[in-house]
Structure 1
Amino acid sequence: MTTTATSTSTSTATATATATRRPRDLLRPALRLDAVVTGANGAAYLAAAPLLTGLLGIPPGVLRGLGGFLLVFAAGVALVGARRPVPLGAVEAVVGANVLWVAGSVAAVATDRFDLTAAGTAWALLQAAVVAGFAALQLTALRTR
């Protein structure tokens, strides 16, 4: 009976410790996820710009430029997430850049900056929502440090 009580107590203590550490532990995975998704998006823009132009309504040169930028940004985010300890000032810069991307995406839709198709409009807004989610997750994890 004592073993069961001790085991249960230890399990509860471990679960509580894990739960209280969780937001802090999300910072590195949030940065990694951001880097992977951003890098995949950038690679797609570079590799498939002529195909995506018709689908999204964004000129191929713009897509290639965005693709190159996103690949560089993704590499930077991956480097920030790989550092030990994670440099908090660099995370703040990543969050700021993500917020700017969200604002730019919404502004591109709102101002008819490009001749976006319906799919292009939906993609820009979906992308803005995903990047806003990354920023919120990163900011939440940053505030718990």
Structure 2
Amino acid sequence: MTATRSITSDGLFADARRLLRLALRLDAVVTGVNGLAYLALAGPLEELLGLDAGPGRVIGVFLLVYAAAVWAVSMPARPHRHAVSAVVEANLLWTVLSIVTVVLGWFSLNTVGTVWAVLQAIVVAGFAAVQYTALRRDEPR
């Protein structure tokens, strides 16, 4: 008989601190790659998404700075609770602003850009949810 480990009882999800650091680092990497794309591909993204290159580059710089900050928050063996809370809140703010941008048409995104903004909002909300959950599980009892 083969023994199997449940991912929820023995694996990654059982260790809240490990899950939190992984969620923060994955957030930082995805955000950084996104930021690099907005910077390096501003012209092609303008055509693809309907996002003007100027604002796209500004968003790219912001995302790179934010990615570095999130990575820094993930570095300690036990990430600082207030810093993680700030990341969760910033992620939720990004989610809301992404949806508001689509609804109000702030950047005049085309259909692909609109879908991209909504997908980003969903991914960022997912990061916030996992980070919040892991932070709550890691609370001292």
Q: Which interval holds the TM-score relative to the shorter structure?
A: 0.7 to 0.9
Shift of 1:37: 0.1
The answer to whether structure 1 residue 139 and structure 2 residue 109 are counterparts is: no
SS at structure 1 position matched to 2:39: helix
The answer to whether structure 1 residue 118 and structure 2 residue 118 are counterparts is: no
The answer to whether structure 1 residue 41 and structure 2 residue 34 are counterparts is: yes
- Corresponding residue for 2:96? 103
Residue type matched to 1:74 in 2?
A
Stretches of structure 2 lacking an aligned partner (at least 5 in a row)? none
The answer to whether structure 1 residue 28 and structure 2 residue 11 are counterparts is: no
Structure with the higher fraction of residues in helix conformation: 1
TM-score (norm 1): 0.86
Q: Classify 1:134/1:16 alpha carbon distance in 2 versus 1 (closer, same or farther; 3 Å).
A: closer
Shift of 1:18: 4.5
Stretches of structure 1 lacking an aligned partner (at least 5 in a row)? 1-7
Residue type matched to 1:137 in 2?
V
RMSD (Å) for aligned C-alpha atoms: 2.0
Tell me the percent identity. 51
SS at structure 2 position matched to 1:113: coil
Shift of 1:58: 1.0
Moved over 4 A (4+): 15-20
How many positions carry a matched residue from both structures? Answer: 134
Write the distance in 2 (CA, Å) between the matches of 1:41 and 1:139: 22
Residue type matched to 2:137 in 1?
T
